[in-house]
Structure 1
């Protein structure tokens, strides 16, 4: 059975024109659509969890000047995606766009890059939330008594991973329980992020006894990567771009929730670009406040250049705990939204027969929630994060940086493919109500060239110890992002050549051209058999 809808409803009618019946419950407002992308970007997550990446690779200059410059380029990517979201408001999002604009092969590879990237986003956000939770519990004197006889550093990694699994399980349960609850929590999350950042900035401005000057914040360079200073501008500084690129990602969620959003053809594109713009602006203010407060450089450097090191060196213990608590709750909201977005993508991709066991993963429960897709995403997120149980010599989980790189590469490559295809079509493209007009001619190339540069940068070693055949090489320090992304590309490419190109034809219609039902996505234990594919 499928969800009932008013045949005169323009959202359901547009979805029917795109080939799908209204199976998911459409109850999200435009603000809630914006809120999920804003929550996934999360200025209470990325700026705190990845602060050290920019501090060690570029320093204050990368944070104060690099952040707005990179954010402007990301906004161009977002504008290009917004135009596509307006034309094709479906849960498949960028996978559907690529299929429509380029054919089944383009859709196949786009979908897999998107799915791998989304799973990595879930893994990285929830693991970071676990790390912050573990640190916060330690500040309150709460210690997990089980250490399995390991060293303190290894015990910390074990405890963090355990918390990661618990947090991920909670997010899965919330997403399975109710789509309405998820929408409500995302709405609360948006306000938590806005008010939370305002409170943190207020504390960082008034509480520290002194602040850095403008010269330090906007001009000072740092290179603590281990690579030579001669590599600063062309190697070290680009590594620091992971801070804004990892923070401002996942805004395709507004597209994935299109089938659950009212007035989706205008609300979804607005959700995409507005979430980027406001996150970039608010995140920059927060990062400037953190950098101005970083006056005890010895303590910050000794703490690995982390946001927690800045806070603990500039604030009292009570205020440090207060700020970290606000950030941790924001990260929890962020992870919940990430699971929502990833599960909708997994559901849509399975609905079109692209995922092994697709009939199983495309089933909905009695509340029209993709329960099994949620479980699939959570399980794969745990598996991809298993290397985080092993740290380097200092007990640091290098795997976290690798997972963040995987998320950025997977997501942005998936973003770039339909943007390139839209540019290739040119003026023949049929725009929705939100359009770039003729600006696409320069914005599209800027977007996909920028993504190509970043994909290369984030496959590079983050430390000399990760450079193969170099003295001191250590597998524990290796950035395994190129191994995962390259392995994924090889696997799905081989799969495509061997069989999928003969069996996969892109998005499968669940309604006929006349608007009658072609097949039903499984609900409440039903099946999701496919009976026909759209012609390309």
Structure 2
């Protein structure tokens, strides 16, 4: 099947409203149910980012390498990602289609390049689902020892902690998969309630930590960690890099959003900006309120240690319950984004079993088969945690690197279009659903796009670099040291094999290529 592009007019009849007519112009029927408003769209992006999930999961890593100085990696990463988000906002206004990263890359470059972008992105999203689900181990055993079902030390870096993390993650994945096959009104409601609870909880945590400060703001100028060197800070930036991804999920839900050309560009940027500010304040509050910066606990137990040590026991545990809710909602949102990516690619007939993967339930309006596939694959990855505690970090950094690479595979072709003069300017005549000009960077588009691409490529290399001190600190697991590189290579190889074999089969059958 040939993928419809912005240069390929559709023969589909125009549906009844402007958003559905716009989708028909790209060659697709409106099958998903368009019910999401602006807050629900914001929630889709914010819940994927989920500051409570990711800050609590990766705070200890950032501090162990960069010490208190690692706080400064947050504004640096946020600035870089805002450049990417600004580019994505332009794309979301012009291509309001599910499977955003895949669709954008395809329309900016070629179906083959877009396919690999979508393939890397969807595999990365599956890995992110697994990483998010594993984060329950960071908080639940601290709330109540009964959640340590396996017994032994609950620390995620221990054998028993890693095994228990896998058990908790599997239970969570069953629940999120069930929600992803229900009506999208239920999904949207859970997302909105969860995001509201997370924002309220994050603000409360920040206020409580700042009012229980043990030291002044000057602490963020200390090095600590492994010397605070530039190399150590590059590793410390992993925490911010992991937190500030997923804002594109608002674009993934475009076909379910009311007035997507107007709504989605704004929610892509605002979800990232709000999450970035809250995450930075959480880190700052943790550094100021920690009972000690030198007893080693901040580098192993992270922000959960600060909450339970600095606040009254009941308050600290109540806030950790809110963090657990945020982790569950984040896992749900990430799985939803991966589901929409699979659905979008399968709808173009470019994946194995596309007919099944592109099926939408007439009763619920949900693509249930992709939800089952994403859930099952994430569960398989979670089981790696039973092999070694090092799997948690390997899984986490792999998913970030893959998403950063996929982002660069969008901003790269976009930059080429700008350099060739084929990217539409702000006076291109296109309008959103209310008749206003589409979101545009105007004359800032070229420098913003160029910086976004450079930042994305540099961060991808930083994340994938096989540092033994990070990925295999105890030695003996060389495959974890090289896990990100090997996993990415295997992903690309599997994709190349599938496309080669599929192309030969289509040629033999006399069918057009995709």
Whether TM-score is above 0.5 comes out as yes
* 1:8-19 correspondence to structure 2 within 5 Å: 8-19=16-27
Matched, 1:185 2:177: no
CA distance in 1, matches of 2:98, 2:119: 15
**Which residue matches 2:286?**
290
Secondary structure of 1:297's aligned partner: coil
Please give the alpha-carbon distance, in whole angstroms, between the structure 2 residues aligned to 1:142 and 1:261.
Answer: 38
Match of residue 425, structure 1, among 417, 424, 435: 417
Is 1:383 equivalent to 2:390 in the alignment?
Answer: no
Structure 1: 5+ residue runs without aligned partners?
392-396, 505-530
Kept in 2, the 8 Å contact 1:118–1:250? The answer is no
1:213 to 2:230 alignment:
no
8 Å contact kept, 1:46–1:246: yes
1:254 corresponds, among 250, 255, 278, to: 250
Query: Could you tell me how far 1:327 is from its partner in structure 2?
Result: 1.0
- Whole-angstrom CA distance in 2 between matches of 1:199 and 1:234: 33
| SS of the residue 1:280 aligns to | helix
Instruction: Please give the per-residue CA displacement for 1:119-144, whole angstroms capped at 9, x wherever unaligned.
Output: 11111111112442233231xx5553
Supply the distance in 1 between the matched residues of 2:90 and 2:405 (Cα, whole angstroms): 17
Contact 1:134–1:159, Cα closer than 8 Å, also in 2: no
Alignment match of 1:134 (pick from 128, 137, 141)? 141
Task: Answer yes or no: is 1:492 the counterpart of 2:495.
Answer: yes
Cα distance change of structure 1 residues 252 and 110 upon mapping to structure 2, 3 Å threshold = same
Correspondences of 1:498-509 after superposition (within 5 Å): 498-500=501-503, 503=506
For 1:7, the equivalent position in structure 2 comes to: 15
Partner in structure 2 of residue 312 of structure 1: 308
**Is residue 393–residue 471 contact of structure 2 (8 Å, CA) maintained in 1?**
no
Structure 1 match to 2:3: none
Q: Which residue of 1 aligns with 2:399?
A: 407
Q: Which SS does the other structure have where 1:212 is aligned?
A: coil
Structure 1 distance, partners of 2:366, 2:480, is: 40
Q: Contact 1:390 / 1:476 at 8 angstroms: preserved in 2?
A: no
Once the two structures are superposed, residues 467-516 of structure 1 have per-residue CA deviations (whole angstroms, 9 ceiling, x without a partner) of 7xx99553485351211112112221343345448859xxxxxxxxxxxx
1:235 maps to 2:237: no
- The aligned residue for residue 447 of structure 2 is 442
**Equivalent pair of 2:137/2:161 in contact (CA under 8 Å):** no
1:213 and 1:59 mapped to 2: Cα distance? 15
- Residue 125 (structure 1) aligned to one of 127, 132, 138: 132
CA distance in 2, matches of 1:489, 1:445: 25
**Whole-Å separation in 2 of the counterparts to 1:499 and 1:198:** 51
1:6 is displaced (CA, Å) by 8.1
Contact 1:105–1:501 (8 Å) recurs in 2: no
Contact 2:359-2:367 at 8 Å conserved across structures:
yes
Once residues 91 and 372 of structure 2 are traced to their aligned partners in structure 1, the CA distance between those partners, rounded to angstroms, is 29
1:430 deviation in Å? Answer: 3.4
Residues 1:192 and 1:533: Cα distance change in structure 2 (over 3 Å) = farther
> Would you say the 8 A contact 1:343–1:374 is kept in 2?
yes
Bigger mean CA deviation after superposition, 407-416 or 5-14: 5-14
Residue pair 1:122, 1:339 contacting (<8 A) in 2 also: yes
Deviation of 1:203 (Å): 2.2
Q: What TM-score do the two structures reach when normalised by structure 1?
A: 0.84
Query: Which residue of structure 2 lines up, in the alignment, with residue 171 of structure 1?
Result: 176
Unaligned runs of 5+ in 2: 1-11, 431-437
Q: Which moved more, 1:430-439 or 1:159-168?
A: 430-439
> How far apart are 1:58 and its partner, in Å?
0.9
Q: Secondary structure at the match of 1:169?
A: helix
Q: 1:269 and 2:274 equivalent? A: no
- Count how many residue pairs are aligned between Structure 1 and Structure 2: 482
Distance 1:142 1:12, change over 3 A: closer
